[in-house]
Each structure stands twice: as C-alpha cells, then as structure tokens.
Structure 1
Amino acid sequence: MNFFRLPSFFTVNYHHFVFTLLISTAVLTPSLSYAASKEDLKGVSAEISRQKTSLTTQQKKLNQLQGELKNHEVAISKLGQEIRSNERELTQVQANLTELKAQTRKLEQTKKQQKDTLEQLIKTYYLTSRSNNLPQIIQGGDAGKNDRISQYFQHLAKARSEAIEALSETQTELSQKEQLLSQEENRQATLLADKKAKRDDLIKAQSQRKGTVSKIQSNIRNNQSKLAELRRNENRLKAEIAKAAKRNISPMNGLAAYRGKLPWPLKGSILHNYGTSQSGQITWKGIVINAKQGEAVKAVHSGKVVFAEWLRGYGLVLLIDHGKGDMTLYGYNQTLLKKDGDVVAEGETIALAGNTGGQDRPSLYFEIRRNSQAQNPRSWLK
C-alpha cells in the first residue's frame, strides 16, 4: 500500500492497523463480494487519512509551541543581559558616588580651613590697623617704620586676596562635585527602577515559558513522538555545525595536543554521559553537566564563535571553532555573552548556564566535534 506516506514513527502502527483490519475482514466474512472489500479498503484509507491529518495538525501545534518557547527564552536571555548590564552600571555609579562623596568631604574640609585662614587674616589686618594707627602712618612719621608697616599691610592684603580667590575656587569645585553627585544619584535611581521593571518582565516571561514547556511536554505524549522530535533536533544541530564548518576556515591548530588536558566548562556532576540512551536508539552526543542558574560557562580552549543563537532542542547555543575541524558546543544556556565572530580565550566566560530549549532544570549541554563527528568529551577533559 504505497498510496500514502507517513512519518516513520507512525508507519508501523498504521500498517498493523491496516493488516489487522484486512485479516479480520477475510476471516470473519469470507463470502463478502469484491465490492464489499473495496468499501472496507476505502474505510481503511479514510481512517489513515484522518490519522495523517491529525498528525499534521499535531506537528503544526508543536512547531507553534516551539516558536513560542524560542520567543520566551530569547526574551529572557535579552532581559538577563540587560539586567547584567544594569548591575555593572550600578556598580560603577556606586563607585562614582563613593569617590565624589570623598572628594566633597575633602573640599568641605579645605573650604573650612580657607575660611578660617581668611577670618584670621581679616582679624590680623584689623588689629594691626588699630595698633599702628594706620591713618597717622599714611600722613607721616618715621619713614623706615612706615615702610615696614606698609609692606606688612601689603602682605596681609595679598594673602587675604589669595585666600578669597582660593576659597572661591574651592566653592566652585564643590558646587560642581555636588552637581555631579546629584546626577549620579538620579542615574542610580533610574537604573534601579529600570532593573526592577526588567526583573518583573523576566518573572512574567519565565512564567509564560513554564506554561509553554508544559504544553510541549503534553504535545509529545509518547515515546515515538519524543523520538521523532529528538531526531529532528539532532538533524538541525548537524546542519548548523556543517554550515558553520563550511563558512569558517580557521588558522588555529585545533585540540589534538590537548586531549585529556582541557579544563571543564563548569564544575558540576554529570547528569547524562556521552553514548548513553536518550530515547530509543537516540544516544547522547555530548554530556549534560548539572549547573546553577546563571552560573558562568567558560570556553575550554581559545577559538572563534561561529554560531550564537537559539536552536530547537538545545536552547541558546554557542559553537566555538578551534581550527583543524575541531569545535566545542555549549547548549541550554540562559544568556549568551558572546556573539558570532567573537574571538575567545581559554577560561573566558562565554555564557550563563540555564535551562533553555525546554529543559526542566539548569544544566549545560557540552559537545566536542572533530570534522563534525561527535567525540566523548570525558576523554578530552581533565
């Protein structure tokens, strides 16, 4: 019966259905006419057509849900990046405020000293004027004494003028510092309000994501559906790796000299080992490492980012090319800190761990590929 085509994971069930129905017809009603058999066959075809339509609808629904999941997780990642940026800015603002406050206190002390000096000069000038009877000195008297007193008064006047000028400059600088302090305080208040709003948006997006993940899990009800989805996800990953390998010819020397010496991308227990069963005949092509939400994910070796996007089944993924056909892949991330084309160093933080791709717990999916072929990461890591 080749007049219809179905996905592989439904074919056996449908063929069994057809076979059983035809055998039952043959055994129970041996005297049926050719016309009756034809009617039965039409009924079988109609049922298979109905099942096929149902499958198509189910797949469309799953695709729609996966699209929604992508939107939620990309939005969460963006909000995570913005909150992280806010936190860095707030740290800088706090440092600026601390420095400005210290400078303001120092200027206040300088201002007080300058005011005390000016007051003392004015007081000295006044007392000296009275004791030496300045009007009489101006009118005449001992020329030598008059000259000394005149020079002393000139010195006092100059010192007073300099003190007034210094005090004025200090006051101007102090006003500028106070203005900057006010601006930084306003900036801090704005950043804090922005951060709070983004946190609220993040909580909302995480709640929406949780609902979408539940719907996806409900949509993939049986092992055959799960197996088909895993196969499609794996094929998508292979396609992206092949495209990245084709468009990037790296001059780097690869990982061959570092087998068994590479650092771990993060520290955590192994949830799934390479080669173990994922579902049916699908096995894990990498390892899944337990992680804390937002934990730093580090590059295991220097290289160039050749893929930094959301990929169905793997969430937010970073693919790093190390040359000679060697690549490392980091999936399930909450936030990507690098973009396509970035050059990274060994040990550099490239992402924050999460549970994207519809995972139910924070973890990191890690692969090593040589000429697009998956390797056991455990034999490469320290």
Structure 2
Amino acid sequence: MTITSSVSHSSASLRVSFSGAFLCALVSCFSLFTTFAYSASKEELKGVSDEISRQTSSLSSQQKKLNQLQSELKKHEVAISKLGQEIRSNERELSQVQANLTELTSQKRQLEQTKQQQTDTLEQLIKTYYLTSRSNNLPQIIQGGDAEKMDRISQYFQHLAQARTEAIEALAKTQSELTEKEQQLSEEENRQSTLLANKKAKRDDLVKAQSQRKGTVNKIQGNIRSNQSKLAELRRNENRLKAEIAKAAKRNISPMNGLGSYRGKLPWPLRGSILHNYGTSQSGQITWKGIVINAKQGEAVKAVHSGKVVFAEWLRGYGLVLLIDHGKGDMTLYGYNQTLLKKDGDQVAAGETIALAGNTGGQSRPSLYFEIRRNSQAQNPRRWLK
C-alpha cells in the first residue's frame, strides 16, 4: 500500500514536472513569436509612418508651391489692373489733348483770318492816306486861305492816322495771340506724342504681364489637377471670401435701406449669357454661391444698386473683387474683374460703372462673378435681377 502510494505520488510529480516544463517551453516560444511579431509590426509601422511623413511633406511642398504660384498670379493680375487703369487714364488724357488741339487749331485759323482782314484794312488805310495826300495839296490850300477846307482835310488825316494806329495795334495783338496759339499747339502736339509713346510702352508691358499671367495660370491648373486638390482649393477660397464678407459687415454699419423692396427689380451688372448658375456643382460638394456671366474683356460692370464700397482688392480664387454694402445686411459682390474703378469707402450710384470685366483669379475666359448676400448668406441672384 505504501509502495503503491509512493509510485502514484511519483507519477503525479512527474506529470506535474512535465506539464510545467511544457508550459515554460510554450511560454518561451510564444514570447519569441511575440517578440518577432512585434519587431515585424514596428518595421511595418515605421514604413507606414515614413510614407505618411513623405506624403505630408509632399502635400506641404505642393501647397507651398501653390501658395507661391497664387502670389505670383496676384502680382501679375494687380500689375495688369494697374496698367489697365493707366492706359485708360492715358486714353482720357489723349482724348482731352485731341480736343485741345482741335480747339487751338480752330482758334489759330480764326486769328489768321482776323490777321488777314486787319492787314487788308491797314493796307487800305495807307493807300487812302497816300491818295488823299496826293489829291490835296496842303500848301496851295493854305495859300488860298480856305480855312474850312483845310480844317476838314486836317480832321480827315487825323482820322486816317488814328485808324491806322488802331489797325497796327490790333494787328500786333492778333500776331501775339497767334504766336501764343502756335506755341500752345506745339506743346499739345509734343504732349500727344509723349502720351502715345507712353501708351505704346504700357501696352507692351501689358502684353508681357498677360503672357506671364498665362504661364502662372497654367502652372496653377497643373498643380491642382486632381479633384481632391481642386476641392481643397475651392474650400479655402470660399472660406477666404466668407471671412472678408464677415469683416466688412462687422466694420460697416450702413444706414441704407437694403435691397428688400427690390427683389426681382434689380438691373443686371452686365448683359451676357450665364456660364454657371447659382447652386450648381462647382466641384464635388462645392456649389456656386453666385452666378458667372459671360463678358467681353474690359466691358463695363455696373452697380445694381446704390451703396458703399467696403472691399476692393484681389482675393484668391475671385481675382479683383468689389463688395458693395447696401444696408440692412445686404451686399453685392463683383469678381473676376480686369480693373477696379472704385476703392474702399467710395459711394456708388445704381447703374454707375464700378469695374471693367476680365478674367482675374486664374479664370480662363472673361466673365463676371456676381453674388448677392443677406446677412452673409448667399442668395440666388436670378431671383433678385429683372
């Protein structure tokens, strides 16, 4: 009994020992496997992390490049706008010079006619004086004692002499005025030549700037070719616009009555076919918050209602923008302009030309981007326009 119990006990101990050893071995193997698996996971995670860093760096680099290109675009388009304003001013000045030249030429022609008449009159007076002197022998009249005739002839000679003096003075004055007009004409002609040369130089600069802008636009389009990049850029542009509208609304409390009573009665800012309608897709889930109207380059853009300009600058994605406050939270926005003719703080009347249409903001064709906002919320412009 005792022997059997000892054997049984030994067998049990052996089984326990064997089981412990097996478990230890199993735990050891599992530990090695876990270590191996953990090492593999670390390598994989490191690879994923490196790839994420690379892509982030790539995106950051791409965004940086895009920002740089947009800055270049702004520089080109602002320069083009400035050149456009200078050329427009130059053309107005040339028009005034031309009007001056026409007026001076007319005045010169009249003075020349007056001079000719005065010359003829003076010649006639001299001739009359000479003939009168010959036909009236004063010594004989004096000897004859005809005092009455002598007095009459003397008065006549005095009259002729006075008339001749006046004619000479008038002729001298006319000649002086004529010389002055010729000098003014010469100065205006020189001014015209300078303006024409200046205009040609600015036109050349404009062509150069437009060429540079085109190259930058192409680079930007290549940079945001993917839908995701385009969508991100559109979102950023929209947020920038919202921020500017919010800032303008905050700093301007207008006493005007707003657009409320003009729904469906507002004139169009310019006439043209609609390229993009309010609410239609721009890209992905981004929709148009206004309308895009086809336009001719340099076409007049008019204010749809009287108000105050509260923003007049270049804005990424929208180019040269004018924002007009009409009171009671109502605003109208005019984008893609080639040239702005009004500045921040200007009062404008309904129908007044405020800008010239263009394709700034990187647009591929001349058009006008037009928005109506009520308390910063975009409205469908077509419900407000005639």
When normalised by structure 1's length, the TM-score is: 0.91
CA change 1:30–1:153 in 2 (3 A) is same
Matched, 1:263 2:261: no
Q: Report how far residue 75 of structure 1 moved.
A: 0.1
Q: Where does residue 172 of structure 2 map in the other structure? A: 168
Q: Report how far residue 300 of structure 1 moved.
A: 0.1
In structure 2, give the amino acid aligned to 1:126: Y
Residues 310 and 345, structure 2, Cα contact 8 Å, conserved in 1: yes
1:146-225 residue pairs with structure 2 within 5 A?
A: 146-225=150-229
Larger mean CA deviation between 129-138 and 254-263 belongs to 129-138
Structure 2, gaps ≥5 residues long: 1-32
Pick the aligned partner of 2:370 from 354, 366, 369: 366
Matched, 1:84 2:88: yes
In structure 1, give the amino acid aligned to 2:201: A
- State the distance in 1 between where 2:78 and 2:117 align: 58
In structure 2, give the amino acid aligned to 1:152: Y
CA change 1:289–1:133 in 2 (3 A) is same
- State the distance in 2 between where 1:175 and 1:93 align: 19
Highest CA radius of gyration, 1 or 2? 2
- State the distance in 2 between where 1:212 and 1:138 align: 102
Structure 1, gaps ≥5 residues long: 1-28
CA change 1:102–1:269 in 2 (3 A) is same
Q: Report how far residue 139 of structure 1 moved.
A: 6.3
How many positions carry a matched residue from both structures?
Answer: 354
Residues 193-239 of structure 1 show CA distances to partners (whole Å, capped at 9, x for unaligned) of 00000000000000000000000000002000000000000000000
CA RMSD of aligned residues (A): 1.3
Matched, 1:327 2:331: yes
- State the distance in 2 between where 1:33 and 1:247 align: 62
1:1-382 residue pairs with structure 2 within 5 A?
A: 33-137=37-141, 141-382=145-386
Instruction: Find the residue that maps to 2:199 and give its secondary structure.
Output: helix
- State the distance in 2 between where 1:312 and 1:140 align: 107
Q: Report how far residue 134 of structure 1 moved.
A: 3.3
CA change 1:362–1:371 in 2 (3 A) is same
Q: How high is the sequence identity, in percent, across the aligned residues? A: 87
When normalised by structure 2's length, the TM-score is: 0.90
Residues 288-321 of structure 1 show CA distances to partners (whole Å, capped at 9, x for unaligned) of 0000000000000000000000000000000000
- State the distance in 1 between where 2:277 and 2:78 align: 27
Instruction: Find the residue that maps to 2:331 and give its secondary structure.
Output: strand
Q: Report how far residue 360 of structure 1 moved.
A: 0.2
